[in-house]
Amino acid sequence: MDSLRHLTAHLGLDLTAICLLTFAIYYPRHRRRDLVPAYLSLNVALFTIVAALAEVGGSGGTAIGFGLFGVLSIIRLRSDAVQHEEVAYYFTTLVLGLICGLPRLAFGLAAALSAVLLLVVYTADHPRLLSGVRRAVITLDAVHSDPAALRADLALRLGEPLHWSVMEVDFVRDLMVLDVRYREPGAGAARRRSSGPEAVRRADPVLDAA
């Protein structure tokens, strides 16, 4: 009976934590409905496996649970590409299921660790944190050999360039592809740039916080 109450309490803690992570933090910020069932099912599945194997196999079940955590991580990272912040949410769902599913971990400690995880994710992915810094993969209709000229070109097109890496250079078509981290300009500067010539022939639609 005590074992059943312990398992029920940990299951309630796990469901509360994963619902807070998914519906209170992740979905309101990213609006990707397709990842909601993935996060929920992975979390509950890992909790169920860890709890069941630990109950049946003693300490060996916990070791198997950690092994499953590693296997699930590798499988997910080899599947469809996701954004870096979504990978962070993905790992957090797995860790929550693993922590809450450990049978010998005290309820208070499991609740404290879960709260720390939620607090870190909430803070690290807060929209106001580094809100002016953006990332863009862009294609320029010019090839710059001078870094100073490239910086000036990026500043005119995007804003203050913080860091960039050249992904591709095509001398035949006279273009180059760059992965750029930049700081957004103020509204006044944006209006001034909007009156200038169009600079970016094609830009990747992915614009996210660095």
Q: pLDDT, tens digit, for every residue of 149-205?
A: 998 988 888 888 888 888 899 988 889 999 898 888 763 444 444 444 444 444 444
Residue scoring higher pLDDT (82 or 165): 165
pLDDT band for position 74 (cuts 50, 70, 90): low
For the chain, the domain total comes to 2
By CB neighbour count within 10 A (0-12 exposed, 13-18 middle, 19+ buried), where does 136 fall? Answer: buried
3 state SS of 167: strand
By CB neighbour count within 10 A (0-12 exposed, 13-18 middle, 19+ buried), where does 10 fall? Answer: buried
Shared-domain flag, residues 174 and 106: no
Tokens 């509204």 map to which residue? 187
Shared-domain flag, residues 167 and 84: no
Is there a contact between 42 and 29 (Cβ–Cβ < 8 Å)?
A: no
- For residue 126, give the nearest of 22, 25, 21 by alpha carbon: 25
* Domain presence at residue 208: no
Token readout for 157 is 């097109």
Per the prediction, the chain carries an average pLDDT of 79
- The DSSP result for 4-61, as a single string, is HHHHHHHHHHHHHHHHIIIIIIIHHHH--TTHHHHHHHHHHHHHHHHHHHHHHHTHHH
- For residue 36, give the nearest of 99, 96, 85, 86 by alpha carbon: 86
* Domain presence at residue 210: no
For residue 13, the enclosing domain spans: 2-124
Shared-domain flag, residues 82 and 183: no
The pLDDT, as a whole number, for residue 2 is 65
Give the Cα separation of 96 and 47 in Å (integer). Answer: 8
Is there a contact between 136 and 180 (Cβ–Cβ < 8 Å)?
A: yes
Shared-domain flag, residues 70 and 142: no
- pLDDT tens per residue across span 109-165: 999 999 999 999 999 888 777 667 788 888 998 899 888 999 898 888 888 888 888
